[in-house]
Amino acid sequence: MTRKLGYLALPLLMAAAFTSQARADGETIAVFTKNQTNPFFQTVRVGADNMAKTLNAKTLQYIPTKPDSIPEQLSQIEDVVVKKPSAIVFTPVDYKAMVPGVEKINEAKIPVVNITDRSAGGKFLSFVGADDYSLGLETARFLLKTLGGKGNIVIIEGVKGSLTNVDRVRGFNDALKEAPGAKLLASQPGNYQRLQALQVMENLMQSNAQIDGVLAANDAMAVGAIEALDGANRKAQVIGINGTKEAIDAIKSGKLLASGDYNGFAQGCLGTMMAIRALRNQPVIAEIVLKPTVITKDNYQPFDVPLEQRTCPTFEDAGKLGAK
């Protein structure tokens, strides 16, 4: 599948294979997200609900009670195959480990759209996500520019081996290579969890007398790092990724330097839109990769809008949002 946008024949053929007949409305869309602890996924779910309501469909949310649990998401797939929703919008908790689960969904002939983390296998109507490498690269560049291209830096990673973490940390490290005056002190996982990041940051501060910058692979961990810094009465510039409400509030108060916008609301909207359009035998876009935006104190205003007051993109907007 290429990254070229367009009203592609392949998704239409897949939709036709998956659905025996077009539906007018009232479809049930099962939305799979990774956890209830990362505010990003709440943003995705609100976007999905918003789009479903707009198109007179409804959602059924599947969320592991244990964050990012592979066994639990596999069990949820067993459940959804039995319940046979009209379509599925799917974020794998692990892009490799969940491939057998996706194959079960395919065997059950339930159409499925992949969002956020790109699955390593399986058949999908469409992919909607962001360029994690660019998100990492651009947010890290902003931090290093703020620090004058120098200083002691630590990276707090997400889940080791997860595709989002691999790409974001690769972007962080490439930005560091561009700043020879900066020194990477440590790169440790916080598993995308706020409390774990707080504990990682506390340990890093005990072994490093001077930390100037923190590159966190998501906003929840960035907030955890800030709490650790506050607890130790120390200062450092911190960036995150996701553009969550919590991050916007922290940027406004001066606690957080910046957040790479991952546009989870649009991902939820567009993933659900593509699923419903395919069910209604309407054209879909095979791949939408959203551009990164670094949210700072100078440009946060458009992002400082409650989720409930946001409006989903139109189909025409979708093409523009994902265009290179």
Please tell me the predicted confidence (pLDDT) of residue 323. Answer: 61
Whether residue 8 has pLDDT greater than 60: no
Q: Are 153 and 182 in contact (CB under 8 A)?
A: yes
Counting residues of the chain whose pLDDT is more than 90, the rounded percentage is 79
Cα 323 to Cα 1: distance, rounded to the nearest angstrom = 16
Structural element, H or E, at residue 32: strand 28-32
pLDDT band, residue 278 (cuts 50/70/90): very high
| pLDDT per residue as tens digits for the range 283-316 | 999 999 998 899 999 999 988 998 889 999 999 9
Backbone angles phi, psi at 114, to 5 degrees: -95, 125
pLDDT band, residue 162 (cuts 50/70/90): confident
pLDDT band, residue 324 (cuts 50/70/90): low
| pLDDT per residue as tens digits for the range 115-157 | 999 999 999 999 999 889 999 999 999 999 999 999 999 999 9
Whether residue 3 has pLDDT greater than 60: no
Q: At what angle do helices 132-146 and 163-177 cross, to 10 degrees?
A: 40
- Residue 116 backbone zone (phi > 0: left; psi -120 to 50: alpha; other: beta): left
Whether residue 260 has pLDDT greater than 50: yes
**Residue 316: HSE in the Cβ half-sphere, 13 Å Cα cutoff:** 0
Average pLDDT, rounded, for the chain: 91
Collapsing DSSP to helix, strand or coil, 57 comes out as coil
Q: Are 137 and 174 in contact (CB under 8 A)?
A: yes
Whether residue 4 has pLDDT greater than 70: no
Q: What's the start-to-end Cα distance of the chain, in Å? A: 16
Cα 93 to Cα 35: distance, rounded to the nearest angstrom = 8
pLDDT band, residue 259 (cuts 50/70/90): very high
Q: 160 vs 323, which has greater pLDDT?
A: 160
Amino acid at 117: D
Collapsing DSSP to helix, strand or coil, 290 comes out as strand
Q: Are 225 and 245 in contact (CB under 8 A)?
A: no
Q: Are 97 and 70 in contact (CB under 8 A)?
A: yes
Please tell me the predicted confidence (pLDDT) of residue 143. Answer: 98
Whether residue 17 has pLDDT greater than 80: no
Whether residue 233 has pLDDT greater than 70: yes
Alpha helices in 84-217 (DSSP H): 99-107, 132-146, 163-177, 194-207
Q: Are 265 and 44 in contact (CB under 8 A)?
A: yes
| pLDDT per residue as tens digits for the range 26-69 | 999 999 999 998 888 999 999 999 999 999 999 999 999 999 99
